[in-house]
Each structure stands twice: as C-alpha cells, then as structure tokens.
Amino acid sequence: EAGVVQSPRYKIIEKKQPVAFWCNPISGHNTLYWYRQNLGQGPELLIRYENEEAVDDSQLPKDRFSAERLKGVDSTLKIQPAELGDSAVYLCASSREDRSGQTQYFGPGTRLLVL
C-alpha cells in the first residue's frame, strides 16, 4: 500500500511570494489533514477534510492561507503572500473511519524556507 505522497519536499522562496504544496493521501482514506510543524515543536493542525468538505479550519490563517480538496482525493495548500514566520515543515496526513480509531498516517512533509 502506497503511503501519503507530498510534493515538493523542499521549497525556498522570498517573502511576499506565493507557494503551494500538494498531497495525495492513501487510497481509500476519506479524511485528510494539513499540519504545520515549527522548528522544535510538535505538529499543529491547520485544516481537516472529510471527503471534499473542510470540517475544521479553525486554525487556518485565512488571510493568507487557503486549501482545497477537489473530488475528495488530492489536496493543495497555498500561502499567498508568504511571510518569514511561515518557514516550517508542512505535513499532510490521512485516515479512514474504522476500528483503528482513525489512525493518521503522515507523509514526509514539505520543508519551506522563506527568505
């Protein structure tokens, strides 16, 4: 079974530029999550999708961040414009509703550096 796929793995941009991250979840997983992991910290949830619906985006900074999950499969997270403080690792995870308690499986992450 293929894992969660993310691209790109690394991205360096200048502040005020836009950037986008892509995630392909595990096949059959209807729930998709985007997390941000700052240096020395644990991941923090940005947004959670159930199929194509964003069911929890309370922690997403909506002035500059946006996300979409068309057709309930792949997802894209966008930042426009990027700020220095957005430098972090952006992790995508997926899960499905079953007796495993919705165990989340993580991708390798995209490491963003804003200069």
Partner 1 sequence: AQSVTQLDSQVPVFEEAPVELRCNYSSSVSVYLFWYVQYPNQGLQLLLKYLSGSTLVKGINGFEAEFNKSQTSFHLRKPSVHISDTAEYFCAVSEGNYGGSQGNLIFGKGTKLSVKP
Strands (E), 25-97: 31-37, 44-50, 53-56, 65-68, 75-79, 88-95
19-27, 55-63, 71-79, 80-88 -> range binding partner 1 (CB under 8 A) = 55-63
- Verify binding: residue 25, partner 1, rule CB under 8 A: no
Among 31, 66, 76, 87, binds partner 1 (CB under 8 A): 31
**Residue 31 bridge partners (DSSP):** 50, 95
16 φ, ψ (degrees, to nearest 5): 80, -5
Classify residue 86 as left (phi > 0), alpha (psi -120 to 50) or beta.
alpha
17-25, 64-72, 80-88, 92-100 -> range binding partner 1 (CB under 8 A) = 92-100
11-19, 64-72, 78-86, 106-114 -> range binding partner 1 (CB under 8 A) = 106-114
* d(C-alpha 46, C-alpha 66), whole Å: 10
- Verify binding: residue 106, partner 1, rule CB under 8 A: yes
Residue 16 CB, shortest distance to partner 1, in Å, is 27
- Verify binding: residue 40, partner 1, rule CB under 8 A: yes
Question: Secondary structure of the chain: what % helix, strand, coil (to 5)?
Answer: 5, 50, 45
Binding stretches for partner 1 (CB under 8 A): 4, 6, 31, 33, 40-45, 48, 55-56, 58, 91, 93, 95, 97, 99-109, 111
